Amino acid sequence: MSIVVVGSVAFDGLKTPYGVREKVLGGAATYFSLSASYFTEVRVVGVVGDDFLPEHEAVMNKRGVDTRGIQRANGKTFFWKGEYGENVNEAKTLQTDLNVFATFQPQLPAEYLNSEYLFLANIDPVLQTKVRDSMPGVKLVGGDTMNYWIKDHRENLGKMLKRVDMLLINDTEAKMLGEDNSLPRAARKVLNLGPKALVIKHGEYGATIFFRDGEFAGGHHPFRAPALPLEEVRDPTGAGDSFAGGFMGYIASQGEVTRTVLKHAMFYGSVMGSFSVECFGTERLQSLTREEIDERFLIFRELTHLD
Amino acid sequence: MSIVVVGSVAFDGLKTPYGVREKVLGGAATYFSLSASYFTEVRVVGVVGDDFLPEHEAVMNKRGVDTRGIQRANGKTFFWKGEYGENVNEAKTLQTDLNVFATFQPQLPAEYLNSEYLFLANIDPVLQTKVRDSMPGVKLVGGDTMNYWIKDHRENLGKMLKRVDMLLINDTEAKMLGEDNSLPRAARKVLNLGPKALVIKHGEYGATIFFRDGEFAGGHHPFRAPALPLEEVRDPTGAGDSFAGGFMGYIASQGEVTRTVLKHAMFYGSVMGSFSVECFGTERLQSLTREEIDERFLIFRELTHLD
C-alpha cells in the first residue's frame, strides 16, 4: 500500500527553551512523510525553491520517500520562524515567508495515481479538493486545515470536508469549525459537515477520534489515545503532522479500515508525535527503527490499559 | 473497610449556561462522601451552621454516610457562589463567605479512629497534619490542597506533604507546587516533597497518576484515565472532589493498594466525576446505582482500550 501526501515542504527557524536553529528542514508534508515512512510507502507532492538542496531531498529519500512530486520553482522555499516559551503548547510565529508556496499548484506524477491512500495537509481547501478529485479511486482520504481557512474560506472548506473521510485538527480548530465551545458537541457538528471520523489533537493530553454514527462498524463512543508525559519537549514543531503521518501510515499499512485499525492508528500517531518533539526539527524522525516505535507503543499501552 | 474524610460541608450558589441555583448542598467533603459511599463506608468530619437543616444531613445519611463528625457551630454554613461561562473548565468566584468554616477545628469522634483510610480535603495544611497525626494507624492517606496554601503557606504544606501517601491536585496546582511549567517535571518535583503517588486532574482531559520510583511495585510509567467526552456539562462544581471520592473509595474497598488497584481507582474516580457534572450540585451523586457506575466503567474502558 502507498500513500500520497500533499502539503508544505519548508525551512523552519526555531527557538525553544532548549536552543535555537536558524534554518532546518520542516513543513507539514515533510514531517508527515518521514513519520509515515515507518509504516508504508510514501509519495510526496510539494514545491520548493532554489535553496532546497540535494541534501534536503536526500533526508526524505533515505527513508524511501518518493519525492518525484516535489516541484522546483524559481525563488525561495517556504520559510517559517517561530518561538516557544515555557508553555510548549503555544507557538509564537515570528516570520512567515510563503515564497514559492504562495503560488503552489499541486501536480501529481502519473506514477502516484494508483495510491489507495491520500493525505491533504494544511493548504488552500480549493487545492485540497482539486487533488482529491484527481484521485477518484482512492480508498481513504485524510485532511488537515487551520484557523485561517476556517475563518475566511468557509465555503471552500465546506466543499473539501465533503470529500475527505477523516479530518485531523486540534482543539481550537475543532471548536471554531464546529462553532461550539464544548469539544464533544463541536465534534458532532464537524462530523455533520462531511468526514466519517474526526481526530482532535489535544497536544500534551493526547488525541480523541470521534466517529460519525454507523461508520466503521463499532459502538458510538469515541476513542482516546494518550500523549507521552515527556519531561523534555525540545521542539514541538511538527508534532501534529508527525501524528498524522503515524496515523495515516499505519492505516495504509493495514489494508482495511476497521475500528480496531483506527484505534491502533491513534496510538501509532501519538507514538510518532512523541518521538518528533524529542529533538529539533525532523531529526528524531530521520533515524528511528520500527523496534523503537513498537517499544514505545507498548509504553502507551501501559499508560492507559488496566491490565 | 471505612474511610474518614475531613473538609468543607457547604452551600453553593451556582450559575452555569444550563441554569441557576441559589443555594444547594455542596462542599468538598460532601461531594467526596457521596461519591465514595458507592464503594465503602464513609465517615465525614466538618462544621456547619444554624442554616444546615436535618434535610441536608439526610442527603448524606441516605447514602449511609456517618455524619457524627459534623460539628454544629453558631452562625452560618460556609457559602460559595460561582459562575461558569462557556468554558466550563474555569469557575468565576462571585462570593466566598467562610462563616463557621473560618474557625473550623476538626474533631474526630472516637468511633472514627479505627478507619484504615483517610482523605484530607482542601483545608489549612496545619489542620490536615493535625488530623493525620490523630490517626497514626491509618493505612493510606490521600490529600488535596489549593493555590492559596501553595502560595502563602508553603512551609506548613511541606509538613503535610510528608504525611500523605497520595496527593490529588489539578494541573495549575501541580505546576505551581512543583515550580515547573512542564507537567511531568512538576510531578517528579512534587513527589520529591513526600507523597508516594500524585494524581493530577486535567478536567475534560482526564487525570494522570505519577508514582514515586519503587512505590506500588510496578513500572516507572504513569497511568492516565480519560474523562468522558460529555456533550452537556451542566455543573462542573465538585467534579474533582467526586473524582477523589471514587478514587479513594474504590481503594478503600479493595483491602490492598497495588498498582492494579490504583489504575482501577483512577477509572472509578473519572467515572464518578463524569456523573457529578451531569446535574447541578450533588443531585446525580445522590441517586446512582452500582450498576450504573459499572456500566460507565465499561464505557471508559472502551474509550481507551485497544481491545
DSSP state string for A57-69: HHHHHHTT-EEEE
Taking CB atoms and an 8 Å cutoff, what residues of chain B touch A210? Answer: 229
Distance between B273 CA and the closest CA of chain A, angstroms: 17
- Please give the share of chain A, as a percent, with pLDDT higher than 90: 94
- Please give the share of chain A, as a percent, with pLDDT higher than 70: 100
**Selected residue of B16, B231, B261, B264 to mutate for chain A interface (largest A Cβ count, 10 A):** B231
Collapsed DSSP state (helix, strand, coil) of residue A205: helix
Distance between B243 CA and the closest CA of chain A, angstroms: 17
Given an 8 Å threshold on Cβ–Cβ distance, is B260 in contact with A307? yes
Q: Answer yes or no: is pLDDT of A80 > 90.
A: yes
A231 touches chain B (CB under 8 A): yes
Provide long-range contacts, Cβ within 8 A and 24+ apart, for B183-192: B183/A204, B183/A229, B183/B208, B184/A229, B184/A230, B184/A231, B184/B210, B184/B222, B185/A231, B187/A229, B187/B222, B188/A231, B190/B161
Indicate the average pLDDT of chain A.
96
Distance between A114 CA and the closest CA of chain B, angstroms: 31
Taking CB atoms and an 8 Å cutoff, what residues of chain A touch B187? Answer: 229
Say which range, A17-21, A98-102, B83-87, has the weakest mean pLDDT: B83-87
Given an 8 Å threshold on Cβ–Cβ distance, is A206 in contact with B202? no
φ, ψ of residue A185 in degrees (nearest 5): -70, -45
Alpha-carbon distance of B259 to B246, in angstroms, equals 16
Tell me the three cell numbers of residue A280. 529539533
Q: Answer yes or no: is pLDDT of A78 > 80.
A: yes
> Around B131, how many Cα atoms within 13 Å sit in the side-chain half-sphere?
33
pLDDT in tens, A210-250: 999 888 887 779 999 999 999 999 999 999 999 999 999 99
For chain B, give the number of residues. 307
pLDDT of residue B86: 76
Say which range, A127-136, A162-171, B214-223, B242-251, has the weakest mean pLDDT: B214-223
Contacts A–B by Cβ distance under 8 A = 86
Q: Answer yes or no: is pLDDT of B87 > 80.
A: no
A185 touches chain B (CB under 8 A): yes
Given an 8 Å threshold on Cβ–Cβ distance, is B306 in contact with A305? yes
pLDDT of residue B278: 96
Q: Answer yes or no: is pLDDT of A170 > 80.
A: yes
pLDDT of residue B91: 86
pLDDT of residue B220: 78
A205 touches chain B (CB under 8 A): yes
pLDDT of residue B85: 85
- Mean pLDDT over residues B270-276, rounded? 98
B81-106: burial string, b at 16+ Cβ within 10 Å, e else: bbebeeebbebeeeeebebbbeebeb
Q: Answer yes or no: is pLDDT of A293 > 80.
A: yes
Task: Tell me the pairing of strands A19-26 and A10-16.
Answer: antiparallel
Q: What is the ipTM of this complex?
A: 0.93
Alpha-carbon distance of A225 to A273, in angstroms, equals 12
Distance between B69 CA and the closest CA of chain A, angstroms: 36
Given an 8 Å threshold on Cβ–Cβ distance, is A182 in contact with B232? yes
- Mean pLDDT over residues A131-139, rounded? 97
- Mean pLDDT over residues B214-222, rounded? 83
Taking CB atoms and an 8 Å cutoff, what residues of chain B touch A263? Answer: 306
Q: Answer yes or no: is pLDDT of B171 > 90.
A: yes
Taking CB atoms and an 8 Å cutoff, what residues of chain A touch B191? Answer: none
pLDDT of residue A90: 78
The β-bridge partners of A46 are: A70
Distance between A170 CA and the closest CA of chain B, angstroms: 14
pLDDT of residue A37: 98
User: Does pTM surpass 0.90?
Assistant: yes
User: Residues near A136 by Cβ (< 8 Å), separated by ≥ 6?
Assistant: none
